[in-house]
């Protein structure tokens, strides 16, 4: 027995503003209607549907522009972090989605939402990892996170300096 609702706001994994959806009665009664994310679909609310869909189209165009700009800024970039490792080279802990968000904000001065980062599991090995992003309106982007061992950062910086001196 499903309840028909008109979504007033976008709901992840359910629908967009202006959509009529069928949900279980408890979800409608306890979550969607009290938080004013949806209203019961009756004649009055169905008249509201056209207005909500028009507003959603305008918002979708703006969201897509914003997502394309963000993708352009972050695509192909690399952020670097250092972690503690034991004598065998195994990391203590891992680099999680929250750590990645903090690194992007710190190094690239960009703010991402946690739901944009699609990392199947935390990074538990040193090296370069490709991070896929799924931004608003289906826009995708990728960037890299370079995880270095705490002592390796000086070793890796030294060859780069030598190559720069040799070029001069």
Asked whether residue 96 is domain-assigned, the answer is: yes
Residue 19 maps to a domain:
yes
DSSP letter for each residue of 55-88: HHHHHHHHHHHHHHHHHHHHTT-EEEEEE-B-TT
Q: Kindly report the CATH number assigned to the domain that includes residue 126.
A: 3.10.430.100
Strand segments (E) across the chain: 3-7, 20-23, 38-40, 78-83, 127-134, 140-149
Same domain, 96 and 144: yes
Say whether both 51 and 101 belong to one domain.
no
**43 and 11 in one domain?**
yes
The pTM assigned to this predicted structure is 0.72
Residue 167 or residue 28, greater confidence: 28
Structure confidence at residue 162 (pLDDT): 40
Supply the CATH number for residue 48's domain.
3.40.5.10
Task: Domain count for the chain, please give it.
Answer: 2
pLDDT at 105 over 80: yes
Averaged confidence pLDDT in the chain: 87
Task: For residues 18 and 40, state if they share a domain.
Answer: yes
Do 76 and 52 lie in a common domain?
no
- Range of the structural domain that residue 117 is part of: 72-152
| pLDDT score recorded for residue 74 | 93
Which pLDDT score, from 0 to 100, does residue 152 have?
66
pLDDT above 60 (res 53): yes
Q: What is the mean pLDDT of residues 134-155?
A: 84
Query: Is residue 110 located within the same domain as residue 140?
Result: yes
At 89 the pLDDT is 81
13-17, 45-49, 141-145: range with lowest mean pLDDT:
45-49
Q: What is the pLDDT of residue 46?
A: 83
37 and 105 both lie in a single domain: no
CA–CA separation, 149 vs 90, rounded Å? 9
Same domain? For 49 and 95 the reply is no
């Amino acid at each position: 027995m499903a309840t028909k609702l008109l979504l007033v706001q976008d709901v992840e994994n359910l629908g967009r503003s202006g959509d009529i959806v069928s949900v279980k009665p408890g979800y409608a009664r306890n979550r969607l209607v009290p938080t004013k994310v949806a209203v019961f679909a009756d004649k009055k609310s169905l008249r509201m549907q056209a207005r909500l869909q028009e507003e959603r189209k305008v918002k979708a165009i703006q969201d897509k522009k914003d997502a394309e700009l963000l993708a352009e800024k972050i695509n192909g970039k690399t952020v670097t972090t250092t972690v503690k490792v034991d004598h065998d080279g195994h990391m203590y802990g891992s680099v999680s989605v929250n750590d990645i968000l903090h690194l992007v904000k710190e190094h690239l001065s960009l703010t991402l939402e946690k739901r944009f980062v699609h990392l199947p599991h935390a990074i538990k090995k040193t090296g370069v990892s490709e991070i896929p992003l799924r931004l608003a309106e289906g826009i995708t982007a990728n960037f890299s996170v370079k995880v270095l061992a705490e002592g390796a950062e000086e070793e890796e910086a030294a060859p780069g300096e030598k190559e720069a001196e040799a070029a001069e």
